[in-house]
Chain A
Amino acid sequence: MTNYAGYMGRVLEVDLSTRQEREYPWTDRERERYIGGKAMASKIMYDNFTGKEEPFGPENLIVIATGPVTGTFAPSSNRFDISTLSPLTGITTSSNCGGDFGFYLKKAGIDALVIRGQSQEPVWIEIDDGKFIYHDASTLWGLKTGESQERLKKELTALHGPKGRYGMVSIGPAGENRVLYAAVTSGERAAGRGGTGAVFGSKNLKAIVASGSHEIKLHDREKAMEHHKKWTAALKAHPLTGSQLPRLGTAGLVSTMQMRGQLATRNFSAGRFDAFEKVSGEALAEEENITNTGCLSCPIRCSRTVEVEGQKVKGPELETLGLFGPNLLNDNLKLVCRWNRELDELGMDSISCAGTIAWAMEANEKGLWNNGLEFGKVEGISQLLDDIAHRRGIGNELAQGSKRLSEKYGGQDFAIQSKGMELSAYEPRRAVGQGLGYAVSNRGGCHLNGGYLVVLEGLGLSIDQQTPKAKADFCMMMQDLMESISVCGHCLFTSYAVFPGFLISKPNSPISRFVNFIIPHIGWAIRLLNKFPGIACMNLPLIPYTYELRYAVGMKMNIGRFLKIGERSYNVERAVNARFGVSAEKDKLPKRLTNMLQDPNDPGSKVPLEQMKRIYYRARGWGKNGLPDEKKLKKLGIE
């Protein structure tokens, strides 16, 4: 039970071994401290994991958590999170997903599921208004994600008639076969990173379907609806969320990344691709894109729809475009669209998959592993993806990710991963703050969990891409801010509208120039704010999240408290990972990015990682070992 609106007041623990459910204790005090989503999941793992658990063991947990605004119809705010111990990295991973499953889970009367144990037989779970039904999934086993979801809809129609409305998550063959970077798919959206799908597979859990008729209450309906209206208008008026993302999608970044030397090319050996125009967002919009679509209650509608083999399907995001395009020296956009579809259907993370293939191509070129893969050779990639998902031939090896393969064959210097997770498409030698983020990110080489500093380093604001000044401080602040936004259930894309539009659309104006100049000089102010969050005991119209928590949830909130929630979330996740061996030594990048220059004539074109890490740990109040001590955790109220 809860006294807050937005929440359904129920967290359920589901034991797949015994097929029994029970209430997981989660109090309002914990809601105030962790809100929901991945912060809630991290705290649950903090309370349950000792450091001896195995990702594929029955003791591993899958925490599927919504936020209090999920389903309230706040703009772009219907997300849910899947957290677990990652088979790819051996530490925690949390993967955030759009679509509508979060909404329907709450309609079923549940805020979060904590799944443990292991089913003896393939199973899919139906949650109908809080009631659990365990169905035999043997006829679904082996099906791709789309077919699996279609079959589920038919079964549900046969059981309950045609009028039912459901949210569902399902794995594909990659998850069943425990590909270490297998995803969980919901509609056409995916909780992609870290191998959540493989953990589903290890538990013989094929799918979960949720439906129900519970009301998602708002604390002050009138004020909340008015706030949603204003916020939606602001998102539509902003140059990024109202124009660029709807019209070009995330793929629109390719051209700018090319000009700034940030477009990962040829397994991150370069930052520019000669044929970038053929795989740009503009080419996607002009040649392939049919329309743009969005998640439930989203006015941004960033998703592309393209045609693949006569079917209208979700188009590639920037990451897939960049990593299956320039990073493999492939300029065939149609093929990227096709592979993107195949990855979704097989249920695999496109980032880790592409990163592993790129490493294998280079390993083959260098004579370390004779596998037949070559940069620019695109024939056979479709078959390769299928082989990875079904663990056939070299696909069985590629299913392990680049870290394990480089430990086996050599070539660790060019295995582009951090903590075992492959990096996304931003080449960090031309965005050194992003490089720091990749290294210190709790879940491994992730652009978002790393704080997404590239948004300040050329893809938004235009601060010096190479300077390490203040990057550590902003990395910390951005990580915390993004955590806070995410745990509520909001899409991170709403955060772009936090930047005043003119700073982006008028980069040459005196104010924009001043902002870009001053940011590298105000790291001290960020540290001060982190130390004394009471300074920010206010709410500002630019930051809509605190108003949302006040009006929709009824929680006392200001900017300082909001940032502190993010900091607490980041620290508790770090504390869990410390039990699995994470420390400063694991916060690293491959030598290609830290020791080798992107441009031999520019001595600054590498990531000065150690220098930034020292400042980052200090700013976070962590020891030189890169970890929060008991005192720090206590100060944050992590018990």
Chain B
Amino acid sequence: MVTVKLFGLLRLDSGVKQLELEAATVRELYPRLLVELSRRSPASALTLKDLKACAVAVNECPAKPGTKLQDGDIVYLIPPIAGG
């Protein structure tokens, strides 16, 4: 079980701050996360592309789709963002 934390507009749109999921890799996480978010927030209209566009970090280290996940890992999903 990994903890997935959502940020930016992904969090504001879905109304979900974090959730727990089973996944062996980041790639495997995406569809499961989409199903869960669609269930919790049907109006959010998120797509797999939206999730894949996010920057991913595992335990605060940048990660790739192939990055393996272990029990207790924290996965951060941050949508593209800019400017300040």
Contacts and interface: CB of A to CB of B under 8 A. Distances in A.
A258 B83 contact: no
B81 interface: yes
B62 A240 contact: no
A299 interface: no
Contacts of B81: 240, 244, 248, 252-253, 255-256, 459, 504
A317 to B, nearest CB: 8
A275 to B, nearest CB: 12
A280 B49 CA distance: 25
A258 B7 CA distance: 12
A46 B55 CA distance: 46
A603 B46 CA distance: 40
B45 interface: no
Contact of B82 (A282, A455, A506, A508): A455
B19 interface: no
A117 to B, nearest CB: 38
Contact of B78 (A259, A319, A461): A259
A496 interface: yes
Nearest to B18: A277
Contacts of A272: 60
Contacts of B5: 277
Contacts of A280: 7
Interface in A232-288: 239-240, 243-245, 247-248, 250, 252-253, 255-256, 258-260, 272, 277, 280-282, 285-286
A244 B9 contact: yes
Nearest to B55: A259
Interface string A279-322: 01110011000000000000000000000000000000111000
A555 to B, nearest CB: 28
Contacts of B17: 282
Contacts of B11: 282
Interface residues of A, number: 40
A459 B12 contact: no
Interface string A443-471: 00001000000110001110000000000
A507 interface: yes
Given A243-B9, A255-B8, A259-B78, A250 B84 contact: yes
A505 B10 CA distance: 12
Given A258-B60, A508-B52, A282 B8 contact: yes
A493 interface: yes
Interface in B31-84: 49, 52-53, 55, 57, 60, 62, 76, 78, 80-84
B49 to A, nearest CB: 8
Interface in A175-207: none
Contacts of A260: 62
A446 to B, nearest CB: 13
B80 A505 contact: yes
B7 A460 contact: no
A188 B83 CA distance: 21
B12 A506 contact: no
A250 B83 CA distance: 7
B78 A508 contact: no
B79 to A, nearest CB: 8
A272 B76 CA distance: 14
Contact of A318 (B12, B55, B84): B84
The 9 closest A-B pairs by CB, nearest first: A460-B82, A255-B7, A250-B84, A259-B57, A496-B83, A318-B84, A253-B84, A504-B80, A256-B81
Interface of B: 5, 7-9, 11-12, 17, 49, 52-53, 55, 57, 60, 62, 76, 78, 80-84
Given A256-B7, A505-B53, A508-B53, 6 more contacts: A252-B8, A259-B60, A281-B8, A282-B11, A447-B84, A455-B83
18 contacts: A244-B8, A244-B81, A247-B9, A253-B83, A256-B81, A258-B60, A259-B62, A259-B76, A272-B60, A281-B8, A426-B84, A459-B82, A493-B83, A504-B81, A506-B49, A506-B53, A507-B80, A508-B53
